[in-house]
Structure 1
Amino acid sequence: MPDAVALTPKVIHLMCGINDTAGNTGPTTPADYKNNITAMAAVVRDHGISLILGSITPAARFSWGRDLPDPRPRVGQLNEWLRTFAVQQAPPSPTITMPSVRQTGRCEAI
């Protein structure tokens, strides 16, 4: 995050989480994810930068890890937490972007 802040942007779009859900860099608990988002949002806010939170990209499965559990429940729970987190932040609250998701857990085609 310091490298992004050093560029002195007016806005940062933070979109992360699907790699954490897949365990691509090792196990990540929901608490780890929430702590990371909370810390990054604080850094952005402390530097007077507007924040756009992107939801975790939906996925029904991971092609490289077919033995991994279905990510949809965890992604849904974390995205719901993101919505709540965005609303609870001091003004200006972060904007949150959410894709349209099919029941399969995949994004709708636009």
Structure 2
Amino acid sequence: MKNAIYTTTLLLLSLTAGAQDWPNIKRYEEANKAVKSPAKGEKRVVYMGDSITDFWINNDSTFFKSNNYYDRGISGQTTGQMLLRFREDVINLKPAVVVILAGINDIAENNGPSKLEDVAGNIFSMAELAKANNIKVVISSVLPAAAFPWRPAINPVEKVKTLNEMLLNYAKKNNMVYLDYFTAMADNKRALPLALSKDGVHPNLEGYKMMEPLAKRAIAQALQKK
């Protein structure tokens, strides 16, 4: 609890320190206002992430509508930006479960170089904020990627592997669900194959269709955890 309070204090200080909406809190501001308190027995789920989550609802909106899922992905975001908007886009919606999928844009250095320990730490902080607010946590693996079209000089393969190991170990240690997209989707070069993606980073509809049953199974597991 103390760690969560400390993290929340840091978030507030960070928000008041900058004049611009770096975490893009306004993206879902109006949509969040329209969300009502959960009905009795409702098992609301929020997906927090970057473009992979952001594009998911456009590729398969039925998946979200039919399962009472809320998509709160923002394209291009790093884990630090997600952490800053976590209260507005997750906690305040009062979900039963949050599915966190983050880290690939940090590896791509979208906001500059980052240590993997800091990237993982941002994800851990989101998980701890959720836990402090009685929200079950699903920590997703980073999807496979062998190259970035917008950062061709970066080879992400080993960093994706290392970050996923850190996330898996944290989930095990803290009795949280680890959602392993990587193993299901990676080819023998640890890349996202063209059958599942046009650019090797973002899933196409076939890729999302592969992810969906894995996500639903992980959510069910999270709901069963004490």
The normalised TM-score by structure 1 is 0.89
| Amino acid across the alignment from 1:98 | D
More moved, 20-29 vs 8-17? 20-29
4+ runs of 1 displaced by more than 4 Å? Answer: none
Q: Is the 8 A contact 2:146 2:192 kept in 1?
A: no
Q: Distance in 1 between matches of 2:119 and 2:150?
A: 21
Q: How many pairs are equivalent?
A: 106
| Amino acid across the alignment from 1:66 | P
1:1-110 alignment, distance < 5 Å: 1-3=86-88, 4-68=90-154, 70-89=155-174, 93-99=175-181, 100=184, 101-107=186-192, 109=196, 110=210
Q: Secondary structure at the match of 1:52?
A: strand
Structure showing the higher helix proportion among its residues? 2
Q: Which has the higher contact order (CA 8 A, sep 6+)?
A: 1
The normalised TM-score by structure 2 is 0.45
Structure ID, larger Rg: 2
Q: Distance in 1 between matches of 2:179 and 2:169?
A: 13
Shift of 1:86: 0.3
Unaligned runs of 5+ in 2: 1-85, 197-209, 211-226
Shift of 1:34: 1.8
**Identity percentage over the alignment?**
28
More moved, 93-102 vs 54-63? 93-102
Q: Is the 8 A contact 2:108 2:156 kept in 1?
A: yes
Q: Distance in 1 between matches of 2:115 and 2:188?
A: 24
